[in-house]
Amino acid sequence: MAGPAPLLELRDYSLSIDSFDGRLQVLDGVSFSIAPGEVVGIVGETGCGKSITVKSVIGLVPSPPAKVESGTVSFDGRDITAAGESAIRRLRGREVAMIFQDPMTYLNPLFTVGQQLSDVIRAKEALDPAAAPRTRAERRAKALALLGQVHLPDPERQFESYPHQLSGGMRQRVLIAMALAGSPRLLIADEPTTALDVTIQAQILDLVKELVETLGMAVIIISHDLGVVAALCRRILVMYAGTIVEDAGTADLFENPRHPYTRGLLAAIPRLDGSVTSLSGIPGSIPNFIEPPQGCRFHPRCAQAGARCGRERPRNLEVAPDHWTACHLFDGGVE
């Protein structure tokens, strides 16, 4: 793929997780890259492996039970596949930050917003030996500046608030402020607006857009909502059962979807303008990961599958400029 040297790159990355029932082949040959400053979305049904992909990259999936079966992950040209805990922690603390669907899980109910944000700021300092430690007042000033940057209303007052005193949208702003404390080069947002009402979601989407423009950081947005990624991202990865099935520019993906799974998702969405009068779902459900389907993992649910699909794993092919898909239909046929 053309363009600048990637910030994050996964190549043929496969991950298994040992569970009570057996070994789950959770990720299978995942390859994609994110350029500096690029905003990319990952979509797919619940359980497709969206969260596991990004969490394992930044060391949030403990190993064991997880095990890298093949492939590499590199960040800014460094191979971090086998990086030790402390190296990953440093990466996570400074260069990569993550926010989640439910901010309450990541905020301590017993401490004020200000205390928690100041703690994060101090932790980031500790990771950067070159930076002179700040005084308490400086940290407070920095925290207030961050709260201002995420447009938390009345930051002086909210600095003294406890998480439960804030609305869902405000908590998500606080979490974003914490993520920004280390000036990350990559922000990963896992379903950041899924728990929010639509008018509040619009505010958070606007904020993310503004931060991308002013700070130039790269962002990965994970969402099950194709509207959310369409509104924010230049490029979208479609994930199915631990594989990337399609990778395309946003306009191209919606106007010219190729993979039957992508087409299936798009045909399932009711439209606000009433332009769709009949919906078709995708029959069946996500396979189990202990014995995932051979060949193309989507083949048991695919209306276009042929004999080859159950036999042979489809290659990832560039079907149009910067538009990749993994489906035999585009690689010599399904029979």
Partner 1 sequence: MSAPGEAREPGEPLLELRGLTRHFRLKEGLTGQRTAIALDGIDLKLRRGAAYGLVGESGSGKTTVARLILRLLQPTSGQILFAGQDITGLKGEALMKLRERIQIVFQDPHASLNPRKTILFSVAEPLVVHRRLKGPALRHRVEELLEIVGLPGGFLFRYPHELSGGQKQRACIARAVALNPELLVLDEPTSALDVSVQAQVLEFLHDLKARLDLTYLFISHDLSVVRYLCDRVAVMYMGKVVEEGTVDAVFESPSHPYTESLLSAVPLPQARQPAGRIVLSGDVPSATAIPPGCPFHPRCPRKIGPVCETAVPRLEPRLRDRAVACHLYGSET
Binding footprint of ligand ADP on the chain (CB under 6 A): 17, 19, 24, 26, 44, 46-52, 289
Q: What is the 3-state secondary structure (H, E, C) of 300-313?
A: HHCCCCCHHHHCCC
Amino acid (one-letter) located at 284: G
Contacts of 57 (CB under 8 A, 6+ apart): 8, 10, 73
Nearer to ligand ADP, 23 or 151 (CB): 23
How many helices (H) and strands (E) in the chain? 10, 12
CB of 65 to ligand ADP, least distance (A): 6
Burial of 11 (0-12, 13-18, 19+ CB in 10 A): middle
> Hunting for tokens 């990569």 — which residue is that?
96
Nearer to partner 1, 104 or 267 (CB): 267
Helix (H, G, I), strand (E, B) or coil at 120: helix
CA atoms in the 13 A half-sphere facing the CB of 83? 21
CB of 42 to ligand ADP, least distance (A): 8
Taking CB under 5 A as the criterion, the residue among 16, 51, 158, 250 binding Mg ion is 51
* Pairing mode of beta strands 235-240, 218-222: unpaired
Nearer to ligand ADP, 40 or 334 (CB): 40
CB of 216 to ligand ADP, least distance (A): 27
Q: Where are the beta strands (DSSP E) in the chain?
A: 8-19, 22-34, 39-43, 66-75, 78-79, 96-99, 186-190, 218-222, 235-240, 243-249, 317-320, 323-325
CB of 239 to ligand ADP, least distance (A): 7
Q: Which does 270 bind (CB under 5 to 8 A by kind): ligand ADP, Mg ion, partner 1, none?
A: partner 1
Nearer to partner 1, 25 or 250 (CB): 250
Which tokens sit at 112? 């004020």
Nearer to partner 1, 193 or 325 (CB): 193
Q: Which does 146 bind (CB under 5 to 8 A by kind): Mg ion, partner 1, ligand ADP, none?
A: none
Nearer to partner 1, 80 or 207 (CB): 207
C-alpha 267: how far from its chain's center? 23
Nearer to ligand ADP, 114 or 191 (CB): 191
Q: How far apart (Å, rounded) are the C-alpha atoms in residues 9 and 23?
A: 26
Q: Which residue is nearest to Mg ion (CB)?
A: 51
Residues 149-178 that bind partner 1 (CB under 8 A): 153, 167, 169-170
In contact, 257 and 246? CB cutoff 8 Å? yes
Amino acid (one-letter) located at 160: E
CB of 17 to ligand ADP, least distance (A): 4
CB of 329 to partner 1, least distance (A): 19
CB of 285 to partner 1, least distance (A): 5
Q: Does 206 participate in binding partner 1 (rule CB under 8 A)?
A: yes
Sketch the per residue contact string, 107 through 146, with partner 1: x for CB under 8 A, - otherwise: ----------------------------------------
In contact, 240 and 44? CB cutoff 8 Å? yes
Nearer to ligand ADP, 19 or 108 (CB): 19
Nearer to partner 1, 10 or 236 (CB): 236
Q: How far apart (Å, rounded) are the C-alpha atoms in residues 329 and 317?
A: 11
Q: Does 86 participate in binding partner 1 (rule CB under 8 A)?
A: no
Contacts of 323 (CB under 8 A, 6+ apart): 246, 247, 248, 249, 252, 253, 256, 258
Q: Which residues contribute to the site for Mg ion (CB under 5 A)?
A: 51
Residues that bind partner 1 (CB under 8 A): 45-46, 153, 167, 169-170, 197-203, 205-206, 224-228, 230-231, 250-251, 254-255, 264-274, 276-283, 285
